[in-house]
């Protein structure tokens, strides 16, 4: 883990809607759920999720929504950016013997699961994807989601849920209603990515199933914009979310003081 900024050269940059992605050389194999701090000289840093790693080339993705990301996306191939990380432990599914896996995410939470989806496809896992979007006309990773969820030949059984239809219902009731038709008895493990209210609502729904807390993995990203794991505000008891996480099982998250999941 590099805490001090390193300088790397861009090998590629692409954009899909509001999502920017950049690639660079990285000899260390990376996992889905890990994150880098990337930046440009004199402007600052932003957070970027690992979305691919292959043959020594890493790709990270981010919402293109601030001065740092605007500048990075203007840089040509071969230009330099600063890099810190990787931070985090990533989803451990490659080390587990799970066969049927349910992935649940909200909005840009899908970025932390993009590499996980590809890894699970390569491993031949049975994958179901539930994506909840606050922007149904232009969801995050729109073209990728359409190929995944609206294609009979896709190896992923995917569904997109429109959060703008929640209406007067609270989030817990809305999510419970959307998922009530799913057969959770066939699920071996679940991965959840999204904001804390979303994580809470999904966890409450999963309490009604036979899935054990130790097989539910939450990307716990509270305080995500802070100092990436080295400040007191990232401590929950004796657990530091960026040193020991940010991917934890639900049973681990339930032990964090002041967390009500």
* DSSP secondary structure, 148-194, as one string: HHS-TT-SEEEEEEEGGG-TTS-HHHHHHHHHTTS-GGG--EEEEES
pLDDT averaged over the chain? 88
What pLDDT does residue 95 have? Answer: 84
Q: What is the mean pLDDT of residues 48-70?
A: 94
The Cα–Cα gap between 47 and 202 comes to 25
The answer to whether the beta carbons of residues 73 and 20 sit under 8 Å apart is yes
The answer to whether the beta carbons of residues 112 and 193 sit under 8 Å apart is yes
CA dihedral 97, 102, 108, 111 (to 10 degrees): 30
What pLDDT does residue 238 have? Answer: 65
| Number of other CB atoms surrounding residue 28 within 10 Å | 12
The Cα–Cα gap between 155 and 148 comes to 8
What pLDDT does residue 245 have? Answer: 81
pLDDT, one tens digit per residue, over 128-179 is: 999 999 999 888 989 889 888 888 889 999 999 999 998 888 999 999 999 9
The Cα–Cα gap between 2 and 240 comes to 17
CA 199 remoteness from chain centre: 12
Assess whether pLDDT exceeds 60 at residue 34.
yes
The Cα–Cα gap between 229 and 219 comes to 14
pLDDT, one tens digit per residue, over 72-97 is: 999 999 999 999 989 889 999 988 88
Give the angle 110-201-108 at the CA atoms, nearest 5°.
15
Classify 55 in phi/psi space as left (phi over 0), alpha (psi -120 to 50) or beta. left
pLDDT, one tens digit per residue, over 108-127 is: 999 999 999 999 999 999 99
Predicted TM-score (pTM) of the model is 0.90
What pLDDT does residue 236 have? Answer: 63
């Amino acid at each position: 883990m590099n805490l001090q900024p390193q300088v790397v050269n861009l090998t590629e940059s692409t954009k899909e809607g509001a999502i920017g992605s950049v690639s660079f050389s990285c000899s260390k194999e990376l996992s889905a759920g890990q994150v880098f701090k990337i930046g440009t000289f004199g402007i600052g840093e932003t957070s970027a999720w690992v979305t691919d790693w292959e043959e020594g080339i890493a790709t990270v993705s981010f919402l293109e929504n601030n001065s740092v990301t605007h500048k990075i996306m203007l840089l040509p191939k071969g230009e330099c950016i600063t890099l810190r990380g990787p931070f985090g432990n990533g989803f451990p599914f490659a080390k587990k013997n799970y066969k049927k896996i349910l992935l649940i995410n909200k909005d840009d939470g899908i970025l932390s699961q993009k590499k996980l989806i590809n890894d699970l496809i390569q491993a031949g896992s049975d994958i179901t994807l539930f994506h909840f979007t606050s922007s149904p006309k232009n969801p995050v990773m729109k073209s990728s989601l359409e190929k995944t969820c609206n294609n009979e030949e896709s190896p992923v059984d995917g569904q997109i849920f429109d959060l703008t239809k929640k209406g007067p219902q609270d989030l817990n009731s809305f999510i419970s209603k959307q998922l009530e038709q799913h057969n959770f008895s066939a699920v071996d493990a679940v991965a959840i990515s999204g904001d804390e209210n979303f994580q809470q609502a999904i966890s409450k729904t999963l309490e009604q199933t036979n899935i054990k807390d130790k097989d539910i993995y939450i990307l716990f990203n509270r305080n995500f914009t802070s100092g990436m794991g080295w400040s007191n505000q990232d401590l929950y008891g004796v657990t530091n979310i960026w040193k020991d996480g940010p991917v934890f099982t639900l049973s681990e998250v339930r032990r964090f003081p002041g967390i009500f999941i």
